[in-house]
Chains A and B, each alone.
Chain A
Amino acid sequence: DAKTTQPNSMESNEEEPVHLPCNHSTISGTDYIHWYRQLPSQGPEYVIHGLTSNVNNRMASLAIAEDRKSSTLILHRATLRDAAVYYCILITQKLVFGQGTRLTINP
């Protein structure tokens, strides 16, 4: 499975936008880019996914670079409930998690 690289941690303030980067330079043409997040003591929760085009849903936006070697998860207005570990994953047949980014939101 292709690897992803994310910063270990990021910090932001409440009601400000957050941009979470992910590098996936070895991505193949058929790999979907998925983002999940995990709150403490809970199972991961689906956030968003995409293949080539940018995607929006009620939770977040996903911006995918033209060469697909990187992507950015955008939380438009962070709340305290968005504090979690965010995982960027390339899925072929199974879901393998990297270390993720621990996002802290300051009130």
Chain B
Amino acid sequence: GAVVSQHPSWVICKSGTSVKIECRSLDFQATTMFWYRQFPKQSLMLMATSNEGSKATYEQGVEKDKFLINHASLTLSTLTVTSAHPEDSSFYICSARGAGSGYTFGSGTRLTVV
């Protein structure tokens, strides 16, 4: 079945630094990728949708300059949290969709900003 690999699975960074999270579709081409954020005991919140080769579409209230999304190839999308602060600490999850296939999720990245 379709597999999405997300790295790193966890990261701790200092306040003010930037963190990059990678999402790769291993056995299919992902025409669309989605990035979510999830706080403890809450549901997943869609942050943005990205299509290969074009700019990401951000959901209302999500700062595009803070959460940089790059979808340069059909198998890789990256989310960079710039100038991270403690309130950005969360569980970030990517999802990929290929032509004719369903949605496959990565295993998530737990970001802790100290």
Contact = CB atoms under 8 A, between A and B. Distances in A.
Q: How large is the interface on A (under 10, 10 to 19, 20 to 34, 35 or more residues)?
A: 20 to 34
Interface string A30-50: 000010101001111110010
Interface of B: 4, 6, 34, 36, 43-46, 49, 91, 93-95, 102-108, 110
A42 B108 CA distance: 6
Contacts of A85: 43
A70 to B, nearest CB: 20
A34 B104 CA distance: 12
Contact of B107 (A43, A46, A91): A43
B105 A41 contact: no
Interface stretch (A17-25, A75-83, A93-101): A93-101
24 contacts: A34-B102, A34-B103, A36-B105, A41-B91, A41-B110, A43-B4, A43-B6, A43-B107, A43-B108, A44-B44, A44-B95, A45-B105, A46-B104, A49-B102, A91-B103, A94-B46, A94-B49, A95-B34, A95-B95, A95-B103, A96-B46, A97-B45, A99-B43, A100-B43
Contacts of B6: 43
A45 B49 CA distance: 19
Q: Main SS of the interface on chain B?
A: strand
Given A94-B34, A95-B34, A42 B107 contact: yes
Interface of A: 34, 36, 38, 41-46, 49, 85, 87, 91, 94-100
Contacts of B105: 36, 43-45
B110 to A, nearest CB: 7
